[in-house]
Amino acid sequence: MFENVIKNDVTAAVLERRTIREYTPEMLTDAQLDTVMAAAMMAPSGRNSQPCHVRFIKNSDILKEMQIDFKNIVGWDTPVHTRSDKNPFYHNAPVFAAIFAEGASYMDAGIMVENICIAAKGLGLGTCIVASVGALFEDADKGAKWRRAIDIPEGYRFLIGVAIGNPDEKPEQKPRDESHYKVIE
Ligand SMILES: Cc1cc2nc3c(=O)[nH]c(=O)nc-3n(C[C@H](O)[C@H](O)[C@H](O)COP(=O)(O)O)c2cc1C
C-alpha cells in the first residue's frame, strides 16, 4: 500500500471494504437500510440525471424465488455462476439491492453501487457487488415477471446489484497491482 495513506473513518471504509460472500441471517435495522438508501440516492449522476431506479429487496421469499428462477435460466452447475458455490445471486444476505436504469447508464450505476458499499462498510455491514444475476432480469419471461413484481418502469434494464448484510467472514485483502498507479511530476 502507498506509504503516506491518511486514515480516517471515510478512508478506512474505502480501504478496508472487502467483498463479503457469507452473511448472518440478521436483517438490517430500519436506520441501516435508510442510511444505505440515502447513500444510493446521494450518488452523483451525469447532469444530475438520476437515471437509476433501485429496489432494496428484503423479502426472503422473493429472493429465494428469484434465485431459483436465476438458476433455472443459467443452469445449476455453471462455473461462472457458482463462484461462491452456494448462493451466487444474493449470497444469503438479508437484502439485495438491484439497480436498473434507462439506457446504458453504467457509470452512474457503478458510482451508486460503490456509494452503497462504502456507506454499508461504515455501518459495519458487508456487501458483494453482483453483476452475474443480469441473466435473470434480461430473460424474456422470468425477467419481465420480476421487473413487474418489483415495479421497474418499462424500458429499464438491470445494470448491477449488491448483496448487503452483516458479515459472517473476514476475507483477506485481494491483491492489487500498485504499478497501475503513477504520479507524474
Ligand atoms: C462490476 C463488478 C461486478 C461483480 N460481479 C460479481 C458477481 O457477479 N459475483 C460475485 O461474487 N462477485 C462479483 N464482484 C466482486 C468482485 O469479484 C470483487 O470486487 C473483486 O474480486 C475484488 O475483491 P474485493 O471487493 O474484496 O476487493 C463484482 C465486482 C464488480 C466491481
Domain hosting 49: range is: 16-169
Distance 126 CA to ligand 1 centre (A): 13
Each residue's pLDDT expressed in tens, for the chain with a length of 185 residues = 899 999 999 999 999 999 999 999 999 999 999 999 999 999 999 999 999 999 999 999 999 999 999 989 988 877 766 666 678 889 999 999 999 998 889 999 999 999 999 999 999 999 999 999 999 999 999 999 999 999 999 999 999 999 999 999 999 999 999 999 999 99
User: Considering only CA atoms, which residue is closest to atom 15 of ligand 1?
Assistant: 129
- Closest ligand 1 atom number to CA of residue 18: 26
DSSP for 21-54 reads: --B-SPPPPHHHHHHHHHHHHTS--GGG---EEE
Establish whether residue 60 lines the binding site of ligand 1, counting it when its CB lies within 6 angstroms of any ligand atom.
no
pTM: 0.96
Q: Examine residue 174 and state whether it is found in any structural domain, yes or no.
A: no
Position 7 in a domain = no
Q: CB of 36 within 8 A of CB of 116?
A: yes
Q: How many domains would you assign to the chain?
A: 1
